[in-house]
Structures are given as structure tokens and as C-alpha cells.
Amino acid sequence: MEDAVEGSNNAAPVATEPPPPRVRDRPPGVGEAVGQSLDLALASSGRIRRASLYVGLLVLALAGPAVILLLALARHLGSLEEAIGLTGYGFGFGYEELADPGALAMLRLSVFCAVVGLFALVIETQIVVTVILGGVATRRPIGVRDSLRLSRVVFWQVLVAAILVGILRVAVDAVTSAFLHPSSPTSLESAQIWQLVVEVAVTAPFAFFSAGIVIGGAGAIESLRRSTRIARARWRLALLVASAGTVGAFIQGFALSAGLDLLARVGTTAGLGLDGPAHVAVVTVLVVLVAIVAIGSLVVTVAALIAAPQVMVFLGMTGYSAGLDRATTPAGDRWSPLPRLVTWPMIVLIGLGVVAAAVGLTSI
């Protein structure tokens, strides 16, 4: 027996993920909550990476066809700005006469499919990340496939709650902008800062709705009510959770801008572009598609950093996580089917985007 124990002690250590922070009965303070949130994000990093790969590939499947057709039109027209103008986004309309009507219609159809699919994917990503973080925090690790199972159950509830909070956010932004009425670049920057401060303060009572639905098992309206009760009990923590989304959006925007700038510099140095020989244009398109996958993965990582404070505070305040039971197969149910990695509506959107891009390319 002693030899066996001694042999086991001499065995090579097995690499494991960092242990998650233990959820306590007493809610943490603001500084402690920040530290626990970072620990939770670190402990969940392995599963978050797998989820980021899934989301990155799905972003490529949704946006790739529209991007390929857009870049082909940019090469045909000799201007990326004019090609973007054809979509009706960013630069507005007014370039219709530059392209074949068939290619124009297919471009807008592919962009529409991509926008709708990416909007749904953002909601699903938020849910999947919350499930993974909640599972690690409660010491019941949940994989990507089971996270998708729960996502399909609560998707519409999260969407309804997000729309209600989004309407409030838009109304607050409109009122704040009208009240401040900036008239110069300096006053505009000041107004934007105040707009963010007011937005965080007003939406803080509803900062816990996602965790309430996913982890707490509540419905959309009930999760908003419970969120306000949690916020009243610990308003500093509510402000922390609400501001995490704003800070995360800035980090994501900065990282995206820096990444695109670096990609443009590398492309210029390597001689890539759409106006050169055909093989150079093909390589350029491939590089852009790889960048799309990277952007999708970045979104998941930032979503995890944003959701971690919400998950930790919700569990610390309520100690309730029965909503996560819906992510796992019931005990003894061997025949419960695994959730689809891609839902049928998403498959339809991807298929329409691919067909639209193929038809548009033949029309150029």
C-alpha cells in the first residue's frame, strides 16, 4: 500500500485549469467582486476558447459570403467606399447606378442575412458565455454543447428582456442628447461622456437580467423585477455590473480598431490589395476572412469579461443556480438528443447568403 501511495505521489502532475472562486454566502465588496470576476474569467478560459472558435466560424459562415461579394464589387468598381455605399449602410445610398441591378440586389440580400444572423448570434453568445461562467463558478463545468442546449431554451426570453432594456437605453440617450445639445466638437465629447454616465446609472437596476434568466431560471419580466431588487440591495455592485458592459464595449472597439489598423499596415507592407493581379486579390480576400474569424473570437472573450461580474454578483447575492439544470441531460436519459450546433433558421440564413453571393458574383 505504501508503495502504491508513494508511486502515485511520484506520478507526473496533471495540468488543470485554475480553480474558480468559491461563491460565498456574504456578497463581496466592489473591489473583491472585480478580483473574483477576473478569477472566474481565468478559470473559464479553456471553455471560453472553445466557444470562441465556434462563434468565430459561425461569424465567418454568416458574414463571409457578403464580404466576398462586397470585395469583388470593390475590385470591379475600383473603390471600397463605393462598394460599401451599394449596401445602403455607412455611406448611405446613391451608388446604385455603378453596379448591375442583379449584383446590387444580391449584395443587399447577403448583407441582410448576415446582419440578422449576427444579431441572433450576439444574443446566443451572451447566453453561452453566461452558462459557462455560471457552471465554473458553481463547480459544475458545462461544455459548449450543453450551453447551446440552454441557449435554445431561454433565447427568446433573453431577447425580450434585452429589447426592453435597449428601448430604455435609446430613450435615455435621446433625452440626454437633447438636454445637453452639443454645438462644438469639445462639447460633443463632453456630452458623450455624460451620456454614458447617465446611461449606466439608469440601466444599472436591470444589469442582472441575463443571469436571472439563464442562471436563475426566471422569465423576461420577472428577471427584470428581480434585478431591480438586487440593485437596490447593493447599488454599488449594480453600477459595477452596468459599467462593465460600457468598458467592455470600449475595449472591444479599441481592440478591433487597432487590429484592423495593424492588418491594413501588414497588408500594405506585403503588397496585398484588391486592385492588383487576381492571385493577390484572392490572397487579400483570404486574409480578410481569417480576420473575420479572429473578430468573432474576440467578441466571445470580451463577452466573458463583461458577463463575469454579473454572474459572480448574482450568485453571491442569491446563491441560486437551478436554472443551469436545464443545460444538462436528465439523469438516466441516454436518448436525449444533443443540441444542434447550428439551428435551422441560422442554416437558412447562411444558405441564402451563400446563394446570393454566388449569384451576385456571376452578375459582376
Tens of each residue's pLDDT in the chain, 364 residues: 444 444 444 444 444 454 554 444 566 778 888 899 999 999 999 999 999 999 999 999 999 999 999 999 988 888 888 788 777 654 444 555 666 788 888 999 999 999 999 999 999 999 999 999 999 999 988 999 999 999 999 999 999 999 999 999 999 888 888 887 766 666 667 777 888 888 899 999 999 999 999 999 999 999 999 999 999 999 999 999 999 887 877 777 777 777 778 777 878 888 888 887 888 889 999 999 999 999 999 889 999 999 999 999 999 899 899 999 999 866 555 556 778 899 999 999 999 999 999 999 998 7
Q: How far is Cα 279 from Cα 272, in angstroms, rounded to an integer?
A: 10
Identify whether the C-beta of residue 55 lies closer than 8 Å to the C-beta of residue 296.
yes
What pLDDT is recorded for position 330? 62
Is 218 among the domain residues?
yes
Is 282 among the domain residues?
yes
Q: Domain tally for the chain?
A: 1
Q: How remote is the C-alpha of 83 from its chain's centroid?
A: 27
Residues 6+ apart with CB under 8 A from 321: 134, 138, 215, 216, 315
Q: How far is Cα 135 from Cα 341, in angstroms, rounded to an integer?
A: 19
Residues 6+ apart with CB under 8 A from 310: 130, 207, 208, 210, 211, 241, 244
Is 148 among the domain residues?
yes
Identify whether the C-beta of residue 18 lies closer than 8 Å to the C-beta of residue 43.
yes
Identify whether the C-beta of residue 102 lies closer than 8 Å to the C-beta of residue 359.
yes
Exposure letters 193-211 (e unless 16+ CB within 10 A, then b): eebbebbbebbbbbbbbbb
Is 111 among the domain residues?
yes
Cell numbers at residue 218, please?
Answer: 426566471
Q: How far is Cα 345 from Cα 271, in angstroms, rounded to an integer?
A: 40
Instruction: Name the H helices within 270-320.
Output: 278-318
What pLDDT is recorded for position 329? 66
For the chain, list the strands marked E by DSSP: none
Q: How far is Cα 115 from Cα 63, in angstroms, rounded to an integer?
A: 8
**Angle formed by the axes of helices 101-137 and 80-87, nearest 10°:** 80
Cell numbers at residue 62, please?
Answer: 454568416
Amino acid (1-letter code) at residue 337: P
Q: How far is Cα 165 from Cα 276, in angstroms, rounded to an integer?
A: 47
What pLDDT is recorded for position 60? 96
What pLDDT is recorded for position 24? 47
Range of the domain at 73: 45-86+99-325+339-363
Give the pTM: 0.86
Is 290 among the domain residues?
yes
Is 2 among the domain residues?
no
Is 69 among the domain residues?
yes
What pLDDT is recorded for position 223? 96
Q: How remote is the C-alpha of 207 from its chain's centroid?
A: 16
> Among candidates 170, 132, 76, which has minimal Cα distance to 86?
76
Is 302 among the domain residues?
yes
